[in-house]
């Protein structure tokens, strides 16, 4: 057995783990990264990146199969044909390019990357099982970045025609019909993508609304888009089981019914990956199913750190990346603490949703009187020229000092506005700061400017 020693051992090569490793290596820390599968973790390989590739392909197909928008531009085309195998090959090529890039960045930072399954022996050592043999690694600092995995339902265990999001992204053919159990962001994103690819999609959600983490004002445009796509939505309904091409459902009234489906996508959330690698030997403090951490991502054991999905909500790749970068810098001797004020949440539905900071209700509960400015894209010239004038930008601020508390948007491509929204909250912007910043014309970002003006009571274009 090979014995290795390092300053920092990182278990998990997803967004949090590999970013922590790169930064640690850049700071001169002797670092080993252990990943059981492929670098990049769920996000890069079977989550964020491939799902967005599929969504883009679906958007392209939908634009060609719904010619009314193109006809308005004076464009007419022959009926398109979809070669889904080539679509998947294109998606996989993007993933390969990015995972190869992560490996190159780790090598450049002088990080030792090991492909194998780690078993923690204590807070200072781990055993790595690889095809080439076993290696015992001794470290001064241990970083746990094992991520999360899809949750399954007892009545709908994964396998065969019952899919997790990972399985859905690996399909080699577009299903004729698909039942999606769960109307959170994963179910909604993939459900809408497959609907655009020609699948008959039915969404089954136990709660009384879609996308329950967002307020109704943000989700109404998405609900209208679902209807336009012909997606049937069953709210307040529970999935009971699947057999012989039929999903058994108890509807909102409690009556039993069935949904015909070739495949069932179970998208009811994700759970932290805390088993299978010896975590129980560390006897760490837990916060429910998650590892408990403080504002520095330190666990209850000295020099044992945890980052990303295994530490709780929000389970977002960019949160994990920020935590990973911070932990590496703390180990290197810098003074850092994690600020969760401005973590953008994005739903890549049609239209997209962005939320940063507090919702209007949460802002009012926390700060009392508030100001709200909302500017619709139907009054934005750039949105009109893109045939994408559904949605709006909304700014929420304190009434007394105009400090911005939350920024939200729904519309085509609004994910690209998220950095501006986050920067405003991160820097403690007031409405006057946004209103006094010149926003380029014609761009969708003007809606951000106009929303701030509206909140101040001096709108220009509405």
Per-residue pLDDT of the chain (462 residues; tens, 9 = 90+): 899 999 999 999 999 999 999 999 999 999 999 999 999 999 999 999 999 999 999 999 998 887 777 788 888 887 788 999 999 999 999 999 999 999 999 999 999 999 999 999 999 999 999 877 899 999 999 999 999 999 999 999 999 999 999 999 999 999 999 999 999 999 999 999 999 999 999 999 999 999 999 999 999 999 999 999 999 999 999 999 999 999 999 988 888 999 999 999 999 999 999 999 999 999 999 999 999 999 999 999 999 999 999 999 999 999 999 999 999 999 999 999 998 889 999 999 999 999 999 999 999 999 999 999 999 999 999 999 999 999 999 999 999 999 999 999 999 999 999 999 999 999 999 999 999 999 999 999 999 999 999 999 999 999
Task: Give the number of residues written for the chain.
Answer: 462
From 220, 246, 268, give the residue that closes a domain: 268
Q: Do 377 and 306 belong together in one domain?
A: no
CATH of the domain at 16: 3.50.50.60
- Residue ending a domain, choose from 229, 252, 268: 268
Residue 298 and residue 214 share a domain: no
Same domain, 314 and 176: no
SS3 33: strand
Boundaries of domain holding 169: 162-268
Q: Note whether residue 336 is domain-resident.
A: no
Asked, for residue 367, whether it belongs to a domain, the answer is yes
Whether the CB-CB separation of 445 and 451 falls below 8 Å is answered with: no
Closest among 446, 320, 455, 241 to 15, alpha carbons compared: 320
Which tokens belong to 56? 């883009």
User: 27 and 90 in one domain?
Assistant: yes
pTM of the model as a whole: 0.95
Catalytic residues, by residue number, are 441
Is 342 within the bounds of a domain? no
Beta bridge partners of 357: 406
Domain count, the chain: 3
Q: How far apart are CA 455 and CA 436, in angstroms?
A: 13
Whether residue 71 sits in one domain with residue 39: yes
Whether 93 maps to a domain, the answer reads: yes
């Amino acid at each position: 057995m090979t014995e290795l020693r390092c300053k920092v051992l990182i278990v998990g090569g997803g967004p949090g783990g590999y970013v922590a490793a790169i930064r640690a290596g850049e700071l001169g820390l002797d670092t080993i990264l252990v990943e059981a599968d492929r670098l990049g973790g769920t996000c890069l390989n079977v989550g964020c990146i491939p799902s967005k590739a599929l969504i883009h392909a679906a958007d392209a197909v939908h634009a060609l199969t719904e010619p009314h928008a193109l006809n308005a531009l004076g464009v007419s085309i022959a009926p398109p044909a979809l070669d889904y195998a080539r679509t998947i090959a294109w998606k996989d090529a993007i993933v390969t390019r990015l995972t190869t890039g992560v490996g190159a960045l780790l090598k450049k930072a002088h990080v030792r990357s090991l492909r194998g399954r780690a078993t923690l022996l204590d807070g200072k050592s781990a055993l790595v099982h690889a095809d080439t043999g076993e290696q015992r690694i001794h470290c001064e600092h241990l970083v746990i970045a094992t991520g999360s995995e899809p949750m399954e339902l007892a009545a709908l265990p994964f396998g065969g025609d019952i899919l997790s999001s990972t399985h859905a992204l690996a399909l080699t053919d577009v299903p004729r019909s698909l039942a999606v159990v769960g109307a959170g962001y994963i179910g909604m994103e993939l459900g809408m993508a497959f609907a655009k690819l020609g699948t008959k999609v039915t969404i089954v959600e136990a709660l009384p609304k879609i996308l329950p983490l967002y307020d109704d004002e943000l989700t109404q445009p998405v609900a209208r888009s679902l209807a336009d796509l012909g997606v049937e939505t069953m709210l307040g309904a529970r999935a009971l089981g699947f057999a012989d091409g039929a999903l058994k459902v108890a509807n909102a009234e409690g009556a039993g019914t069935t949904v015909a489906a070739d495949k069932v996508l179970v998208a009811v959330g994700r759970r932290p990956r805390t088993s299978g690698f010896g975590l129980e030997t560390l006897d760490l403090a837990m916060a429910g199913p998650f590892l408990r951490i403080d504002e520095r991502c330190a666990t209850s054991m000295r020099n044992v750190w945890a980052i990303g999905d295994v530490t709780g909500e929000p389970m977002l790749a960019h949160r994990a990346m920020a935590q990973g970068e911070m932990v590496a810098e703390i180990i290197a001797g810098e003074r850092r603490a994690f600020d969760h004020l401005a973590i953008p949440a994005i739903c890549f539905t049609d239209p997209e949703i962005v939320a940063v900071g507090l919702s209007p209700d949460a802002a009012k509960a926390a700060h009392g009187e508030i100001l709200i400015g909302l500017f619709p894209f139907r009054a934005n010239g750039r949105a009109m020229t893109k045939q994408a004038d559904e949605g709006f930008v909304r700014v929420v601020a304190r009434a007394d000092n105009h400090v911005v508390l939350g920024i939200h948007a729904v519309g085509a491509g609004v994910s690209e506005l998220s950095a501006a929204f986050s920067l405003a909250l991160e820097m403690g912007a007031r409405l006057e700061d946004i209103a006094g910043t010149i926003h380029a014309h014609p761009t969708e970002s003007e809606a951000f400017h106009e929303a701030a003006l509206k909140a101040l009571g001096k709108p220009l274009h509405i």
